[in-house]
Structure 1
Amino acid sequence: MEHSDHLDHLEHLDKHLVEELAQVARETVRDELREQTRRQRRTAMLYAASGAVALYAGGALALALILGLAAGLPGWAAALITAAILGVIAYLLRGAAHPKHPHAAAVGEAAVPPGTPYPPMPSEAPLRPGIDPEGPHHRA
């Protein structure tokens, strides 16, 4: 009987140890996630600030271009030329962001042209062996 009490006591200690280890693991993971979140938040703030400063720098550059062109052209023409130049740059940057060759379609799928908001619908549902295409709602 004493042996059984000793085993029960060890089992209780094992359960207690497992609970403590689980608690320590949870706290460690929670602390690590907090630290990662803090670092990611700081990085995001720096990227946002960088983007805002770059936007103002681009505006100042565009204004300098307009003023430079306005020395020999009317102001409206200088602004129009600057807008066209910025539009071309934006178009080229957008093109650089998209891959030149779309990924090959999977076997049995039709290629979807770039810019299509959703894949085309097949003309009819595929038939699978053992499946009634009419479904149970059409049975009498």
Structure 2
Amino acid sequence: MNNRSENLEHQLDRHLVEELAQVARETVREELREQSRKQRRTAMLYAASGAVALYAGGAVALAVGLALASGLPGWAAALLTAALLGVAAYGLRGAAHGRHTPHTPHAPHRVVGGTAPAAPPSGLGMPYPPMPETPPEVPHHRA
């Protein structure tokens, strides 16, 4: 009888563990579903904000072009507006890349002292080997 009660107790314990695991899975699934719903809503609001900002930028560009057209021919006003937008885009791109001057060439970061930093400047978190200070010598083959 003692063995039978231990077996029954073991089955009840296993059943309880399975039920608890099922409840935990359902709870986690519901929480992830809720978080996903909130993130989708936030993403949609950001997308709508970007679309409205794009139209606002277009309206500003049109206003600048019309203001310039009052003193210049239409084609010249449009060309000048496009050039201004191009300069602004280039400046924003440089700011996004962290450059303070627009003429800074993109060059690989050299390592002084022979040790590489823990992560590249891009922030991707992947280490890279140090750059040698002199290029390797290439052997000359005679044909």
Q: TM-score, normalised by structure 2?
A: 0.71
* 1:81-92 to 2 correspondences below 5 Å: 81-92=80-91
Distance in 1 (CA, whole Å) between partners of 2:109 and 2:41 is 35
Distance in 2 (CA, whole Å) between partners of 1:38 and 1:104 is 45
| Residue number among 112, 121, 129 corresponding to 1:109 in the alignment | 129
Distance in 2 (CA, whole Å) between partners of 1:14 and 1:103 is 60
Distance in 2 (CA, whole Å) between partners of 1:103 and 1:9 is 68
Shift of 1:104: 6.9
* Matched letter for residue 38 of structure 1: R
Shift of 1:109: 1.8
Shift of 1:27: 0.4
**Structure 1 gap ranges (5+):** 112-121, 124-140
Shift of 1:6: 1.2
In the alignment, what sits opposite 1:72?
A: 71
Shift of 1:96: 1.2
Correspondence 1:12 to 2:11: yes
- Structure with more of its chain in helix, by fraction: 1
In the alignment, what sits opposite 2:45?
A: 46
Identity of aligned residues (%): 70
Q: TM-score, normalised by structure 1?
A: 0.72
Aligned residues of 2:61 and 2:81 also touching (Cα < 8 A): yes
**Structure 2 gap ranges (5+):** 100-105, 118-127, 138-143
> What does the per-residue CA deviation read over 1:34-58, in whole Å, with 9 as the maximum and x for residues that have no partner?
1011101111110111011000000
**Coordinate RMSD, CA, aligned:** 2.4
Per chain length, whose mean CA-contact separation is higher, i.e. which structure has more relative contact order (CA < 8 Å, sep 6+)? Answer: 2
Aligned residues of 2:65 and 2:81 also touching (Cα < 8 A): yes
In the alignment, what sits opposite 2:24?
A: 25
In the alignment, what sits opposite 2:122?
A: none
